[in-house]
Amino acid sequence: MRICIQGCQNGGMIDLQQTKMKINLSGMPLTSLVTLYSRAKISKEHASLFNDAKAVELVEQIDYCFSLLEKSGADFTLFANAARAMQLDKRVKAYIKEHPHVSVINLGAGFETEFYRVDNGIIRWYDLDLPELIEVRKQLLPETDRSTCIAKSFLDPSWCQDINTENGLFMIAGGLFRYFGETEVHQFFSLLADRFPGCEIVFEAESKSSIDVDGSCGAYGVGWNDDEPEKKDAMQAEYMKAFENAWKMFFPQVQKDMMIGALTTSTRPQSAKWDDFETWWDQLSAQEKGKAMSDFFFGFTCGCPLEDASEMTVWDNRITVVDQFPLFRGIPRDPSLSKSIRQFMDYTDEKGRIKIFHVRV
């Protein structure tokens, strides 16, 4: 713990009064701060839809310039993170209502605070993530007599020995699987079937169309069809503005170089300066723009896209589909939400680009 004296760059305020925790994360673990901030932001602005008081509290405790995330993330992508939490909460609450003593494990937990939102006072909860992230998590969210942290990769089968499944097991995985290939995800589900027959798991899945090179803009499928040019142009403009802010203020030089180096387009920007990037971008075809934005989406593309949960039954016949539904199903298109958020919700669900899968093994 330390006194926050650095503040934000570009004119941010410096706080000499409040004790905050300085954390340094990069790469995939950094996305945990993005999802944490998303939940806090939506909780403060749209509490009638979603309320994560613990996320708001954590954002206040962490010495990090969250305003960079505000500027570098389009509103609709931040809302999508909160929407995923809303849907997982509903599934966990429904399950523990029928199985009040069950053990629940959150895979790739990051700074997720679901335990505080769904706890019935009886369940046993486990949060699993990489050691460097769990080390920070335990300082911000100390373990309790019913909540335990496991500092391991979900691909390390030894975690199976660290949990008590006497009263059954329910699992959530959020957006974890998008960072891994089908082979790894397939092996993980076979492990579950071997070790925990009868357990259930809920997670987010992106469709193959989410990463298609179709002239839209981004691995989340942010865009509209050519027969809807006004909506498509508006969404693309907002996404690009957020990306510009991220490029100028959020991405370190080494990450910019890495992202440029990983481009699969026929040409690349002359340098990592935004002006050069923008000149290069304007010269790309619609197809290449789609390919570039897939390459640039946090440096990742979805490694295990799925159109339908039934595809998983081919991996292993012990997998049974309980349910699947669009990400924003049942979430009101509240007038307080921005137009771009409501458009994104409709577009994503209409095209089936992001879904929640619930399966039993």
Token pair of 47, please? 């509490």
Q: Where are the beta strands (DSSP E) in 131-175?
A: 147-151, 169-174
In this prediction, residue 248 has a pLDDT band, given cuts at 50, 70 and 90, of: confident
Q: pLDDT of 280-315, one tens digit each?
A: 988 988 778 777 776 665 444 577 889 999 999 999
In this prediction, residue 72 has a pLDDT band, given cuts at 50, 70 and 90, of: low
Collapsing DSSP to helix, strand or coil, 355 comes out as strand
Which of 299, 330, 350 is where one domain is finished?
299
- Alpha-carbon distance of 348 to 221, in angstroms, equals 8
Which of 52, 77, 102 is where one domain is finished?
77
Q: Are residues 187 and 243 in the same domain?
A: no
Q: Are residues 30 and 168 in the same domain?
A: no
Mean pLDDT of 62-85: 81
Residue 47: the pLDDT is 95
Residue 6: the pLDDT is 36
- Alpha-carbon distance of 303 to 298, in angstroms, equals 13
Token pair of 148, please? 């335990």
Residue 4: the pLDDT is 34
Structural domains in the chain (count): 3
Mean pLDDT of 46-65: 94
Q: Tally Cβ neighbours within 10 Å of residue 283.
A: 8
- Asked if pLDDT for residue 215 goes beyond 90, the answer is no
Mean pLDDT of the chain: 84
Q: pLDDT of 150-163, one tens digit each?
A: 999 999 999 999 99
Residue 262: the pLDDT is 76
Question: In this structure, what CATH number is given to the domain that contains residue 183?
Answer: 3.40.50.150
Structural domain harbouring 66: 2-77
Q: Are residues 202 and 336 in the same domain?
A: yes
Residue 71: the pLDDT is 61
Q: For residue 121, what are the contacts with CB-CB under 8 A and spacing of at least 6? A: none
More confident residue, 129 or 258: 129
Name the phi and psi angles at 39, rounded to 5.
-65, -40
Q: Are residues 160 and 90 in the same domain?
A: yes
- Asked if pLDDT for residue 240 goes beyond 90, the answer is no
Q: Are residues 106 and 171 in the same domain?
A: yes
Residue 231: the pLDDT is 65
Mean pLDDT of 196-212: 85
- Asked if pLDDT for residue 337 goes beyond 90, the answer is yes
In this prediction, residue 75 has a pLDDT band, given cuts at 50, 70 and 90, of: confident
Residue 18: the pLDDT is 55
Q: Where are the beta strands (DSSP E) in 85-236?
A: 103-107, 124-129, 147-151, 169-174, 200-206
- Alpha-carbon distance of 360 to 117, in angstroms, equals 23
Q: Are residues 260 and 321 in the same domain?
A: no
β-bridge pairing 169-174 and 200-206: parallel
Residue 7: the pLDDT is 39
Mean pLDDT of 9-30: 60
Q: pLDDT of 266-289, one tens digit each?
A: 899 999 999 999 999 889 887 787
Q: Are residues 107 and 235 in the same domain?
A: no
Q: Are residues 292 and 330 in the same domain?
A: no
Q: Are residues 234 and 279 in the same domain?
A: yes
For 11-25, 67-81, 111-125, which range has the lowest pLDDT when averaged over its residues? Answer: 11-25
Q: Are residues 150 and 258 in the same domain?
A: no
Which of 252, 270, 299 is where one domain is finished?
299
Q: Are residues 185 and 325 in the same domain?
A: yes
Mean pLDDT of 33-45: 94
Q: Are residues 116 and 193 in the same domain?
A: yes
Per-residue 3-state assignment (H helix, E strand, C coil) for 7-66:
CCCCCCCCCCCCEEEECCCCCHHHHHHHHHHHHHHHHHHCCCCCCCHHHHHHHHHEECCC
